[in-house]
A and B are shown apart, each in its own frame.
Chain A
Amino acid sequence: MMENGFSSPRNDSFPAGLRVLVVDDDPTWLKILEKMLKKCSYEVTTCGLARDALNLLRERKGGYDIVISDVYMPDMDGFKLLEHVGLEMDLPVIMMSVDGETSRVMKGVQHGACDYLLKPIRMKELRNIWQHVFRKKIHEVRDIEILEGIENYQMTTNGSDQYEGGHFVCGEDLTLIKKRKDTESQHDEKDIGDNTSTKKARVVWSVELHQKFVKAVNQIGFDKVGPKKILDLMNVPRLTRENVASHLQKYRLYLSRLQKENDFNNPAGMIKQSDSPLSDSTGNFGSQNSINLQPTDASNGCYGFSGSSLVAHIVDPRIQDGDRKRLVTTPVAEPKRGFTVDAPNPSKPRISQMEFGHPLAPPQSEVNFAKFDFSFRTKYPWCGIPQTQLKQEHNPIHLNDGFSRLPVPKQLSRADYPQPAPAISSAPSLTGRETGCPVKIKPSHNDYSSNANHASSTESAVESCLLQTKTNMTDHQALVPMSSTSSMENQGLNMNCLTDLESSRKNINLGTLPFATLDEDLQVCFVTGDYYMNLGLQNIEVQEYFDPSLLTDVPTHLDDGLRFDYEIYDPTEYSLIDQSLFIG
């Protein structure tokens, strides 16, 4: 079954050539696992950091079939990474750990892991991992079959990968669709026109789309909500009831998870921007809590649900490189806007605000937060999650952590630089104030913080904060190490974010675009779905940790930027906040 040089595992020799991405901070194990996987005839790529893994995944959309990740990693909680991957790329993720405690395993599954292996892993366990890839494909096929069927009669072949089932389905769907069209049109209309490409047409829940979704849900009333009602309200062409139904399910899971996890994240929680339509009414960040980004479901890519606190931005897996960037940023603060340096940073202020949604934040921050659409975060697990991850043990102050996430914004806007600078300086003070580090950046945050221009300064600040918080947090994540690495990495990431943001600006596909552009977004979605949310996501994370206290330090002009044009987050904003927050 071996063949060399597969470009795609889906070949006749499947599962040989399966493209596996392994993430583990332990180099010894990484080496062993790599060898074992190679023995299974898989194509292996290894990463020592979650950050790197996310970057790789985003850069090479569709470049991997499955991800295997350790639960404990220095720069990001494995669960968070899991969520991100699930939302952004919708790839099957296998968790691994030496710890086989039921609660951990359960958590893994809740976050969307398709399997949880105990180290040391045996060869035979690895030989079967391809089944997860296969299973997912089949499910995807079902999801998009209708769309594909309608869209491209000819694409039936391509849409569903190599699975023949997909083809058949398409055929049937077409018929069904036609019939439906005659009768009820809603679905049909939505189904049609999707086709954007021959690639798998998957509905990618972009930030905008998700925000629309959340809006609809809130309008109907969470209790009375139903897929059909939501679908009608959303009025998005090419969206099917099935899409909404599965998304709703995920959203529900996400919310329930959020509630459990974010008791104390609430204050800080992601703030939904009230401004942006996406944020819906949840704009209030005050009430929102941690941004819990997306539900653990990894299947669909992004959920950005805006949950009470979180702005569910829809992570748009579709985001292609350019788009992704945007998306990434958007969740945080629309990339277009505040993030990039170039962009006028009206969003910047927003970001800070958003983050500050946290109750601790000064009142003004709250307002701002509302603007901030955290839905964005919800999408990305990593975005919002940082807070949760941080373990809310600390008090709301941890919001700071959220700030740490902000670093992302930093990276985005070079222009923001000056701003963050002050923030940075204030950061130390914040730290003092806060029990935890204000900037406590979760390991994952590290990325962000480093991104910022000031990354170096912030990072160190952040790092110190992190360390502090770390001890508070009881997180088992490796302390220390991450700060240093993250800062570096963040820098890199930030840059990416920046570019992403900028590019995203242009890309409508990014979730950030208003619904009007949904079509485009939808189209984008149809991409392989391996999109990685770009750094924007990272930004999101940052946001979560918005530290209200930091807000106070943040320049006032940041507030101005908060208003969002769209529903989407302005990643730029986040970056702003980030920068300031990250003062670390």
Chain B
Amino acid sequence: MERNQLRRQVALTRQSLFDQGFLDDQFIQLEDLQDDANPNFVEEVVTLYYRDSARLINNIEKALSVYNFLSFPSLLDFLVQQHFYIGAKKVKAECTLFREYCRAGNGEGCTRTFQQIKKEYATLKGKLEAYFQVLFHLMLPLSSLISQ
């Protein structure tokens, strides 16, 4: 019973992530890749994503602080890529917007959008962490339960 509740919770959390536009179907692709050989695949990928994108965001922030817009395009590309991989929809949208502002040379727009990126990123991170937590709890019991 508890497990059922847990499962439901997991499903709901997961669904809300999609409904609220935090994730898109790329995330589903990731989930599809998960299998017995890599049971924690999604989480592993998301962890990598956190690490890399955090670094990128830092770099962008530094660049922004010195108004080094030149380096943005490439940094942004990387950042956008990251979000693509895991389907971080909102963050991706903000990044795209940010890139446009950069291209247009709109400093203020860049700064503003960047703040948005950070905000969305943090939000998503929190949500994903919560999701994995629940998932983890669900996985705790015998795996046979999961396969049911």
Residue A432 at the chain B interface, CB threshold 8 Å: no
Docked pose: A471 CA to B45 CA in angstroms = 31
Cβ contact within 8 Å between B74 and A26? no
Knowing A28-B49, A32-B45, the reply to whether A120 touches B77 (Cβ < 8 A) is: no
Tell me how far the C-beta of A530 lies from the nearest C-beta in chain B, rounded to whole angstroms: 29
Residue A36 at the chain B interface, CB threshold 8 Å: yes
Among candidates B32, B41, B70, B78, residue contacting A26 with C-beta atoms closer than 8 Å: B78
Interface size bracket, A side: 20 to 34
Docked pose: A119 CA to B49 CA in angstroms = 15
Cβ contact within 8 Å between A122 and B85? no
Among candidates B29, B37, B77, residue contacting A72 with C-beta atoms closer than 8 Å: B77
Residues on B with C-beta less than 8 A from A28 are: 45, 48-49, 52, 82, 85-86
Tell me how far the C-beta of B60 lies from the nearest C-beta in chain A, rounded to whole angstroms: 14
Cβ contact within 8 Å between B52 and A32? no
Docked pose: A478 CA to B59 CA in angstroms = 12
Knowing A26-B52, A28-B48, A29-B85, the reply to whether A476 touches B33 (Cβ < 8 A) is: no
Q: Can you show 12 pairs from A to B with CB atoms below 8 A apart?
A: A26-B85, A27-B48, A27-B52, A32-B30, A32-B45, A32-B85, A39-B33, A72-B77, A98-B80, A122-B29, A478-B74, A479-B71
Docked pose: A26 CA to B81 CA in angstroms = 9
Instruction: Tell me the count of chain B residues lying within 8 A, CB to CB, of chain A.
Output: 25
Cβ contact within 8 Å between A119 and B81? yes
Tell me how far the C-beta of A262 lies from the nearest C-beta in chain B, rounded to whole angstroms: 23
Cβ contact within 8 Å between A35 and B33? yes
Residues on A with C-beta less than 8 A from B49 are: 28
Among candidates A38, A39, A98, residue contacting B81 with C-beta atoms closer than 8 Å: A98
Knowing A72-B77, A122-B29, A476-B77, the reply to whether A26 touches B82 (Cβ < 8 A) is: yes
Residue A3 at the chain B interface, CB threshold 8 Å: no
Residues on A with C-beta less than 8 A from B41 are: 35
Tell me how far the C-beta of A96 lies from the nearest C-beta in chain B, rounded to whole angstroms: 10
* A interface with B by C-beta (< 8 Å): 26-29, 31-32, 35-36, 38-39, 72, 98-99, 119-120, 122-123, 471, 474, 476-479
Cβ contact within 8 Å between A123 and B29? yes
Knowing A27-B52, A32-B45, the reply to whether A120 touches B29 (Cβ < 8 A) is: yes
Tell me how far the C-beta of A381 lies from the nearest C-beta in chain B, rounded to whole angstroms: 22
Residues on B with C-beta less than 8 A from A474 are: 70
Contact with A along B65-85 (1 / 0, CB 8 A): 000001101100110111011
Residues on A with C-beta less than 8 A from B143 are: none
Docked pose: A27 CA to B81 CA in angstroms = 11
Residues on B with C-beta less than 8 A from A477 are: 74
Tell me how far the C-beta of A482 lies from the nearest C-beta in chain B, rounded to whole angstroms: 13
Among candidates A27, A120, A476, residue contacting B74 with C-beta atoms closer than 8 Å: A476
Q: Which of B74, B80, B86 has the most CB of A within 10 A?
A: B74
Residues on A with C-beta less than 8 A from B70 are: 471, 474
Docked pose: A120 CA to B80 CA in angstroms = 11
Residue B129 at the chain A interface, CB threshold 8 Å: no
Among candidates A29, A35, A123, residue contacting B38 with C-beta atoms closer than 8 Å: A35
Given contacts A476-B74, A478-B74, 11 further A-B contacts (CB under 8 A): A26-B78, A26-B81, A28-B49, A28-B85, A29-B85, A98-B80, A98-B81, A120-B84, A123-B32, A476-B73, A478-B78
Residue B26 at the chain A interface, CB threshold 8 Å: yes
Cβ contact within 8 Å between A98 and B74? no
Docked pose: A35 CA to B80 CA in angstroms = 21
Residues on A with C-beta less than 8 A from B74 are: 72, 476-478
Residues on A with C-beta less than 8 A from B32 are: 123
Tell me how far the C-beta of B8 lies from the nearest C-beta in chain A, rounded to whole angstroms: 28
7 smallest beta-carbon distances between A and B, as pairs: A476-B74, A28-B48, A35-B33, A98-B81, A120-B84, A28-B49, A28-B85
